[in-house]
Structure 1
Amino acid sequence: MASEPVTRAVAEEIARWGSMRQTGVSLRYMMEFGARPTERTLLLAAQFLHKELPIRIARRALDLESLPFGLSSKPAILKVRDWYVDSFRDIRNFPEVRNKDDELAFTQMIKMIRVRHTNVVPTIALGVQQLKKDLGGPKAFPPGIHEIHQFLDRFYMSRIGIRMLIGQHVALHDPDPEPGVIGLINTKLSPMTVARIASEDARAICMREYGSAPDVDIYGDPDFTFPYVTPHLHLMMFELVKNSLRAVQERYMNSDKHAPPVRIIVADGAEDVTIKISDEGGGIPRSGLSRIFTYLYSTAENPPDLDGHNEGVTMAGYGYGIPISRLYARYFGGDLQIISMEGYGTDAYLHLSRLGDSEEPLP
Structure 2
Amino acid sequence: MSRATPHLFQQPLRASKVPVFYTNKVIESYAAKGSTPISLKHLINFGKGGRNKGEKEEAEKLLKGGNFLRTELPTRLSHRLRDLQELPYIVASNPRMAHVYDLYLEAFEQIRRFPVIKDLEDNDRFCEFMQGTLDKHRVVIPDLAIGVSESSPFHLPPQDLDTIMVRMLRSRISRRVITEQHIALTSQFRERQRSLDKGKGREVDEQRVGIVDTRLKAAEVVRRCEELIRRRGGAEATVPIRLEGMLEDEFAYIDEHLEFMLFEMIKNATQATVAHHGSEEAKHHPITITIVHGPRDLAVRVSDEGGGLTPYGGLPPPPAPSFPLLAPGSTVADFATAQRLDIFSFSHMRRYYQHHAAQDEAQAAALASSSPSSPAGALESPDSAPATGAEGAAPKPLTGIMALRTVGKLAGTVKEQLAVERAREGQVLTEEDEVLRDAQMKSGIGLPLARMFAEYFSGTLEIFTVQGHGSDALLKIPKFGIESWASTERR
Say if 2:256 is the partner of 1:231: yes
Distance 2:136 2:463 in 1: 34
Tell me by how many angstroms 1:310 deviates. Answer: 5.0
Match of 1:63 among 83, 92, 100: 83
Deviations 1:72-127 (A, max 9, x none): 11011111111101111111111222333332222222222212211110111121
Distance 1:255 1:199, change over 3 A: closer
SS in 2 for 1:94: coil
Q: Is the 8 A contact 2:236 2:274 kept in 1?
A: no
- d(CA) in 1 for partners of 2:475, 2:252: 16
Partner of 2:453: 328
Q: Which amino acid aligns with 1:236?
A: M
Q: Tell me: CA distance 1:84–1:309, structure 2 relative to 1, closer, same or farther (3 Å).
A: closer
Larger radius of gyration: 2
- Distance in 2 (CA, whole Å) between partners of 1:256 and 1:182 is 45
Answering whether residue 271 of structure 2 is matched by residue 146 of structure 1, we say no
How far 1:258 sits from its partner (Å)?
4.8
Counterpart of 1:70, as a letter, is I
Residue aligning to 1:338: 463
Q: 2:128 aligns with which of 97, 104, 108?
A: 108
Structure 1 residue 235, shift from structure 2 partner: 0.6
- Aligned-residue offset at 1:141: 7.1
Partners in 1 of 2:155 and 2:108 — Cα distance? 33
The residue that corresponds to 1:125 in the other structure is 145
Contact 1:286–1:342 (Cα < 8 Å) also in 2:
no
In 2, Cα distance between equivalents of 1:82 and 1:48? 24
Shift of 1:255: 6.5
AA aligned to 1:231 is E
1:42 alignment partner, one of 50, 57, 62? 62
SS of the residue aligned with 1:124? helix
Inter-partner Cα distance in structure 2 for 1:245 and 1:89: 44
Equivalent AA in structure 2 for residue 163 of structure 1: R
Structure 1 portions without partners, runs of 5+: 1-7
Aligned length: 347
Q: Distance in 1 between matches of 2:35 and 2:115?
A: 21
Aligned to 1:201: 228
Change (3 A) 1:313 1:274: farther
1:316 & 1:81 partners in 2: Cα distance? Answer: 27
SS of 2:246 mapped into structure 1? coil
Contact 1:125 1:318 in 2 (8 A): no
In the alignment, what sits opposite 1:246?
Answer: 271
From 297, 320, 341, give the equivalent of 2:348.
297
Q: Distance in 2 between matches of 1:268 and 1:108?
A: 38
CA gap 1:162/1:262 in 2 versus in 1, 3 angstroms:
same
Whether 1:33 and 2:46 are equivalent positions in the alignment is yes
Unaligned runs of at least 5 residues, structure 2: 1-20, 52-57, 192-203, 314-339, 357-398, 412-435
Secondary structure of 1:283 counterpart = coil
Between the aligned partners of 2:94 and 2:277, the Cα distance in structure 1 is: 41
Instruction: Tell me if the contact between 1:283 and 1:342 (Cα under 8 Å) persists in the aligned partners.
Output: yes
Query: Is the alpha carbon distance of 1:166 and 1:220 closer, same or farther for their aligned partners in structure 2, counting shifts above 3 Å?
Result: same
Judged with a 3 Å threshold, the aligned counterparts in structure 2 of structure 1 residues 262 and 87 are, in CA distance, closer, same or farther, namely same
Match of 1:80 in 2: 100
Shift of 1:309: 4.8
Measure the CA separation in 2 of the matches of 1:103 and 1:204.
Answer: 39
The alignment partner of 1:173 has SS state of helix
Cα distance 1:212–1:77, how it changes in 2: closer, same or farther (>3 A)?
same
2:331 aligned partner: none
Judged with a 3 Å threshold, the aligned counterparts in structure 2 of structure 1 residues 143 and 66 are, in CA distance, closer, same or farther, namely closer
Q: Secondary structure of the equivalent of 1:67?
A: coil
Cα distance 1:306–1:63, how it changes in 2: closer, same or farther (>3 A)? farther
Amino acid at match of 2:157: G
Report the identity percentage.
27
Aligned-CA RMSD value: 2.4
Q: Is the 8 A contact 2:91 2:156 kept in 1?
A: no
Counterpart residue number, 1:357 = 482
Q: Which amino acid aligns with 1:182?
A: V
Taking the aligned partners of 2:82 and 2:31, their CA distance within structure 1 comes to 7
Compared CA separation, residues 258 and 182, structure 1 to 2 (3 A): closer
In structure 1, how many angstroms separate the alpha carbons of the residues matched to 2:206 and 2:139? 31
C-alpha distance after superposition, 1:188-222 (max 9, x if no partner): 000010011112213433x33x3752111111223
> Which residue of structure 2 aligns with residue 268 of structure 1?
293
Which position in structure 1 is the counterpart of 2:32? 19
Aligned to 1:280: 305
Relative to 1, partners in 2 of residues 1:329 and 1:84: Cα closer, same or farther, differing over 3 Å? same
Q: Which moved more, 1:340-349 or 1:91-100?
A: 91-100
Residue 307 of structure 1 is matched in structure 2 by 407
Cα shift at 1:62: 1.3
**One-letter amino acid of the counterpart of residue 192, structure 1:** A
Quick check: 2:229–2:237 contact (8 Å CA) kept in 1? no
- Kept in 1, the 8 Å contact 2:207–2:215? The answer is yes
Q: Mean Cα displacement is larger for which, 69-78 or 85-94?
A: 69-78
In structure 2, C-alpha distance between the alignment counterparts of 1:84 and 1:310, rounded to whole Å = 18
> Aligned AA for 1:186?
D
RCO higher in 1 or 2 (8 Å CA, sep ≥ 6)?
2
